[in-house]
Every structure is written in structure tokens, then in C-alpha cells.
A and B are shown apart, each in its own frame.
Chain A
Amino acid sequence: MTQRAPAEEELRRLSVEMRYLEQTAEALQQRISMVNTAIADLTYANATLDGIEKEKENAEMLVPIGGSSYVKVKLADPNKVIVGLGAGVSVEKTLTDAKATLKERLDELEKTMTSAQQQFSQVAERINTGRGRLESLLSDARQAKH
């Protein structure tokens, strides 16, 4: 009994640690997914600006209004783009400045993504190691019972 106590203590500690690590992994996965969505959105905006750059003033365009429906518009000024700053405020920028802003945001998000992925790998590794140790402790406990 006295010899088994430290193993039981380790088992208890490891179970708590594993639960904590699994919650962290889940939170990191949610973060990665959110950053991914934001990256896709910015990439889409960038591609649209690339397309607009090739168009001339008064070019005819179709703007999506949802439900696979579009309205016809004429491009008033291909060099002016409205970029959101947050908190419901947007600013008019030249196309070049707008692209630079989007690029900056994309770079920032990619850094966040790399860091989140690294953290996730570390947590996943700790989970795997912990699972291995947990299985071996459980198997020892089972053998000790026989």
C-alpha cells in the first residue's frame, strides 16, 4: 500500500494535467480556426483589389448582394478603397495604401498562426507523452491487483 501511494498520486496528478492540456489544445484549435478564417477573408479582399487594379473608371461590374444575386454598378474610382479601422470606423485609402494595409494585417495574422501552431504542437506532444505514461501507470496498477 505504501509503495502504491506515489503511483496513485502520479496518476491523479497526470489525469488533472491531461484534462488541462486537452482544454488548452481545444482553445488553441479554436484560435487557429479563427485566424484561418481571417486570413481567408483578407486574401479574398487582396485578390479583389488585384482585380480592381486592372479595371478602368466606369468599368461595369456586378456587386454581390447575397442569395447569389448581384446588382450592376459602374466603378466610380478604381484608385479609392474604403478600409475598416475597427469600432465601426473606416477610412478612404488609395488602392496601393489599401493593399499595403491588408498585407500588413496578413503578415501579422500569419505570425499569430505560426505561433499558435507551434504552441499546439508542443501541447499535442505533451498530451501524447502523458497518455503513454498514463497507460503504463494503469497497466502497472492492473498487474498489482492480480
Chain B
Amino acid sequence: MSDELSKLPPNVQERLLRLQQLQQTLQSILAQKQQVDMEKNEVEQTLVELAKTADDAVIYKAVGSLLVKAEKAKVAEDLTERKSLLETRGTVIARQEERIRNQVKESQTKLQEDLSPVSGQPLS
């Protein structure tokens, strides 16, 4: 594979490398997005469950491996803030994803143009 790669013109090799890097970045962004989505779902679910409990219910919050007694209202406030932070992070990640996707597309198009005269057919 690397032998075949070295036969390509240096600028094409460079572009191919750049495309691979972009694809790796995209994978990492998608993993971050999944993580944020999962965390947001968990916080939302906890808020729903918390709303079902009585106002004077005894609530505990995890602090490392310890559970510390906490006020229901304060816990709900903290969770709502965490949800809002996760939503903001989600929006930022979505913007990054769109930008990288566009760059990947652009890089693929340029690579196809570069490779067409070499292979005689477009790269799928």
C-alpha cells in the first residue's frame, strides 16, 4: 500500500494525508458528540425522575465515591445548569462537525480531480 502511495505525485500524497487526518478528526468529533448526547440524556432522565419525588425527599449527590445529602431544589438547579452546559457543548460540536464534513468533502473533490488524469477514472 505504501509502495503504491509513493508512486503518487507528492502534492497528491500530501492531500491524501490531509484527508486521512480530517477523517480522523471527524471520527473524534463524532465520538465527543455521542458522549455529550449520552450525558445529556442521562441528566434529562434524572431530572424527570427527580420531579417525581416528594419535595421533602432525602436526596444524595455523588462526590467522588461518597454520597452527600443535598437539597432537592439545589440538585435540580445543578442538573438544569449541567444540561444547559451540555446543550451549548453539543451546539459547538455540531458546528465543528459541519465544518470538518465540508472540509472532508472539499478535500475528496480535489483529490478526485488530482487522481482522474492518473487513473483515468474518478475515485469513488
- Listed in ascending order, the chain A residues whose CB lies under 8 Å from chain B are 82, 85-92
Knowing A85-B49, A85-B50, A86-B49 are in contact, say whether A91-B43 is a contact too (CB < 8 A): no
**Quick check: B46 and A92 within 8 Å, CB to CB?**
no
Q: Top 6 closest A-B pairs, CB basis? A: A88-B62, A92-B58, A87-B46, A90-B60, A86-B46, A85-B49
The answer to whether A87 touches B57 (Cβ under 8 A) is no
Interface size class of B (residues with CB under 8 A): 10 to 19
Residue-wise, chain B 32-55 has the 8 Å CB interface mask toward A (1 for contact) of 000000010011011001100100
Q: Is the CB of B67 closer than 8 A to any CB of chain A? A: yes
Q: How far is the CB of A8 from chain B (nearest CB, A)?
A: 17
Which B residue sits closest to A88, measured CB to CB? B62
State whether B43 touches A90 (Cβ < 8 A). Answer: no
With A82-B67, A85-B50, A87-B79 in contact, is A92–B45 under 8 Å at CB? Answer: no
A86 partner, pick from B42, B59, B67, beta carbons under 8 A: B42
Bound-state Cα–Cα, A11 to B59, Å:
60
